[in-house]
Amino acid sequence: MIDSGSSDLLIPGNTLPGYSGPTYSTAGNTPISNKIVGARFADSSSWGGLFYMDRVSVNEGSVSVLSPFAVMMQQSVEPAVTTGEMSQGVLGIAFDHLARSTDLDDRFKGPYSLLSALVQEKAISQDLVAFRACPADSLSESVVDWGLSDTSLACAVSGNGDATVLWVKVISDNHYEVNVTGVYFGSEMGTLDSSTWQQLDAGSIFDSCTTIMQFPAYLLNQFKAAIRKSGAFDAAFTATNYNEFLNKLYGFAQLPVDYSKLPTLSFTLLAADGHSTVVMEMPPQSYIQKDSAGNSFFVIGSHDENSIVFGATAFNSFYVVLDRANTRVGLAPGCDCASKLQKGMAIATVRYAHAASANDVAGNASSTVPLSAGEPEKSKGAVLVFI
Per residue in 200-250, pLDDT tens? 767 899 999 999 999 999 999 999 999 999 999 999 999 999 999 999 999
pLDDT value of residue 154: 80
pLDDT value of residue 380: 33
Q: pLDDT digit string (tens) for 304-348? A: 999 999 999 999 999 999 999 999 999 999 999 888 888 889 999
Residue 91 near residue 385 (C-beta atoms within 8 A):
no
Query: How is the chain split into domains, by residue range?
Result: 2-125+381-386, 128-369
Fold of the domain spanning 2-125+381-386: Cathepsin D, subunit A; domain 1 (2.40.70)
| Percent above pLDDT 90 for the chain | 70
Task: Please indicate whether the domains covering 2-125+381-386 and 128-369 agree at the CATH topology level.
Answer: yes
HSE of 161, CA atoms in CB hemisphere, 13 A: 1
pTM of the model: 0.88
Greatest alpha-carbon pair distance for the chain in Å reads: 68
Give residue 161's pLDDT band: very low, low, confident or very high (50, 70, 90): low
pLDDT value of residue 379: 31
Give residue 159's pLDDT band: very low, low, confident or very high (50, 70, 90): low
The rounded distance, in Å, linking the Cα atoms of 93 and 3 is 6
Superfamily of domain 128-369: Acid Proteases (2.40.70.10)
Which of 64-68, 170-174, 323-327, 382-386 is predicted least confidently?
Answer: 382-386
Q: pLDDT digit string (tens) for 162-198? A: 568 999 999 999 999 999 999 999 999 999 998 889 9
Whether the link from the prior residue into 17 is cis, omega within 30° of 0, is no
The rounded distance, in Å, linking the Cα atoms of 331 and 318 is 6
Whether the link from the prior residue into 79 is cis, omega within 30° of 0, is yes
